[in-house]
Amino acid sequence: MSSTNNIDLLRFATAGSVDDGKSTLIGRLLHDSKSILQDQLENIKALSEKRGDNFLNLALLTDGLRAEREQGITIDVAYRYFSTPKRKFILADSPGHAQYTRNMITAVSGVSLVIVMIDARNGVVEQTRRHSFIAELLGVKHLIVSVNKMDLVDYNQTVFTTIKDKYTDFISKTSIPDVQFVPISALKGDNVVDKSTQMHWYDGPTLMYLLENVQVNSDYNRVDCRFPVQTVIRPQSADYHDYRGYAGRVASGVFKKNDEVIVLPSKNKTRIKKIDTFDGELNEAFAPMSVTLLLEDNIDISRGDMIVKPNNLPMETQELDVMVCWLSDKKLVVGGKYILKHTTKEVKCVVKEVYYKINIQTLHRYDVDTEIGLNDIGKIKLKIAAPLLYDSYQQNKATGSLILIDESTLNTVAACTIR
């Protein structure tokens, strides 16, 4: 048990067009890595027989909603947790339809790796490009392109090579540094966990091997120290009469006891006196740990303030250019007022301008048609009611991203990254 607790964690998501086999692949990963409980397996067998499937329908493991099972599609994000002797995994199965792109954005926003599924019969399609571009926009550095359903093209090497070349030409226009290709059959299990006996021409690793061995620790920013304050803890009890701590999650960097820090926006300097957690005191804290900082001086600090290092400050502005993924049926309104949520801070803002909209097929920018609607991606300018402390998204996902909230409905209408 102790060895299992010490292995590292990989968060990853699946993406691709509907019916490319994302749910089946996840079911195959769970089944072949022996991560399915016996009662779950029996349930899936019974459901497969009830549906008239003449095979074990592993997609039913992740198509958790009744409506999904009836339609045979995934309409929400389904999360699964499993582990192997080498690594723990949290995977998100996102939907394939274009109208559920916002769910795909939700799934991909917190992962280190994305598996891009491609149906070997259809090749690179619009959703392949859309999801790959969103992955790049959200800072994902590792892609595994799984060319699925190779069993339906007679495990033909030329089919795989043609798709690989076409996708490579597309992805070379982005900044994703690590792209791997694997020919698989999720239904038959070829090259998922076990090596295929049908594709002797492929001498690369299996999909599971890549998942177990991809290096993601360097994805965390350990340099720029950012601690957005979530809440002030003052128990005011007899045992903790003078206790004043500032709780939150370390967005990036490493904070240590006795470190000199500066509180923004007041710019007051002090030192870290103590780092508390639920499990006891620590000498240092780093991203993404949730801790409580106690400071040497009694400074007025509230939710939304940020504790940083004096020699490494975030940028500050009231006008901001962001890339926006629109998530609402209500179109973006130039001049419209929204609530901006950034780390632990909420502030009102106005959309000043739409610079351009992205054509997902070509990645070209259109500055003539600038109407931003559901699932559209573009670049806009925001005017913010109070100064915002931020970094670029490439530097820090936590302080380089924000969401927009409709003032009247309080629904989230957009996910934004700062570039």
20-30 pLDDT, tens per residue?
A: 888 888 888 88
pLDDT of res. 137: 86
pLDDT of res. 46: 83
| Burial class of residue 311 (count of CB atoms within 10 Å of its CB; 0-12, 13-18, 19+) | exposed
Asked if the bond preceding 265 is cis, omega within 30° of 0, the reply is yes
Q: What are phi and psi of 403, to 5 degrees?
A: -125, 155
How many CA atoms lie within 13 Å of 84's alpha carbon, on the beta-carbon side? 16
- Percent pLDDT > 90 in the chain is 56
Dmax (CA) for the chain in angstroms is 75
Helix (H) or strand (E) holding 228: strand 226-228
CB count, 10 Å around CB of 166? 14
Evaluate if residue 418 carries a pLDDT over 50: yes
Q: What are phi and psi of 72, to 5 degrees?
A: 75, 20
pLDDT (tens digit, 9 = 90+) per residue, 141-168? Answer: 899 999 999 999 999 999 999 999 999 9
pLDDT of res. 75: 53
- Name the more confident of 42 and 202: 202
Evaluate if residue 398 carries a pLDDT over 70: yes
- Name the more confident of 216 and 334: 334
Q: Which residues of 87-114 are buried (b: 16+ CB within 10 A; e: fewer)?
A: bebbbbbbbbbeebbbbbbbbbbebbbb
pLDDT of res. 206: 96
pLDDT (tens digit, 9 = 90+) per residue, 76-124? Answer: 667 788 888 899 999 887 766 666 677 778 788 878 999 999 999 999 9
